[in-house]
Structure 1
Amino acid sequence: MLLYDPLMLPFAPTSLAVSDAITHYRQLRELTRDELAYVLEMSGHAISAGRIAEMEDRERPVAVDDLVAISYALGTTPAVLLTHIPIDMPDPEGPLATGLPGDVRQAEARAWIEGRTMLDRESRMRWWRNQVGRLRVLSAHHEEQLQGAYAEIRDLGELAIQEEDAPQVQVLHVLIRDGEHALNQSEIALALAEMQLDTLWVYSV
């Protein structure tokens, strides 16, 4: 049987994503290749550890049936594996998945694969408007939670400084740290979503 030769034809973005994703999620589940092969055999779709190695090492493209079975065995979904972003993606400016426009991002591609949106211009703009709205609500929620924790610290006054090892004070500090991180992340995501929506709007007029 002729195997895929990576020296003759480089893997396309989706094949790279799936190959890397299998390794990533297998290691995340703390499974060896032999253990994954056993799980697959028990589920009725036998794939040898050697074939798994060939898929992970980019010596063999992953067939659709294998993709579905491996996704189930790893406790994830085909959409997650198909939209995985490898650390060594050759062209970070190129399309995330084979044949898609270069500006389609991971969450949007996953929504499309799952049938929750289409990739025509109008559908894409509607999807990104929904993302912007959702992220605005999320940012406002994080801001409200953070301000509440700040207020509790202020109410404690000197006690917060003198008794900083007290459980109540430590909990508040953790809430503030986590809240600041969550707010920062949601604001970054919101800014990127607004930028994507603006770009789509420009190209639609």
Structure 2
Amino acid sequence: MADPQRPRERGNPIGPTARTVGENIKRLRGDMGVTQAELSKRLAANGRPIPVASIGRIESGDRRVEVDDLAAIAIALGVGPLALLLPDTRLPVDVVEITGWGKAQAREAWFWGASGVPLTELDGSVEDMQSEVEWAHQRSSPWWLVAPYVSVTDMSAQDQARMIASWGLREVGRLLDESPDAEAVIYDPGSGEVTFRRRNPIDGDDHGEHPATS
């Protein structure tokens, strides 16, 4: 007969990442001198109430952490979400457990979480490994964070927001693929014109800007 005191779980059991989140919340609270009651008050004031008892169960690994709760707790504690999601270890080579992967070194877990470097065995040439890492990194962040080869002329915040909304990393990559001698894509928000700065195929010097074809 099922234990009437034990809550019935739905779906997958609580995994290592949820336990890590609980441990991190407890550790960060202690470092900041914030009680569970104070954290609960902060969450309620921010529009995401979580009772004190539920915070205790999260910290002990007995309660699931919804993504909205995780974001709200990170804000209430004044940290980024990765500070809750990824394990805090004494050394970068300490072994941790990641849901869906298993055991990995802490530095590998943080490289994956912060930069999108894949948690995978990268076999093959250095070029192949670099390509896979770059691909994962590009897909893990907005294009405007990971595309240093995109050069933007002077623009207002409104123009920049418009560009971010209308452009994407795939489009930039397509333009570069179609022009193998291009060194950078240059976008002018005033005219909406896209140009390339091209390399000299002989000595590597720039040959000026040329319109991009689409």
What TM-score comes out, normalization by structure 1 length? 0.48
Structure number with the bigger relative contact order (C-alpha 8 A, sep ≥ 6) is 1
What TM-score comes out, normalization by structure 2 length? 0.46
Q: Comparing both structures, which one devotes a greater share of its residues to helix?
A: 1
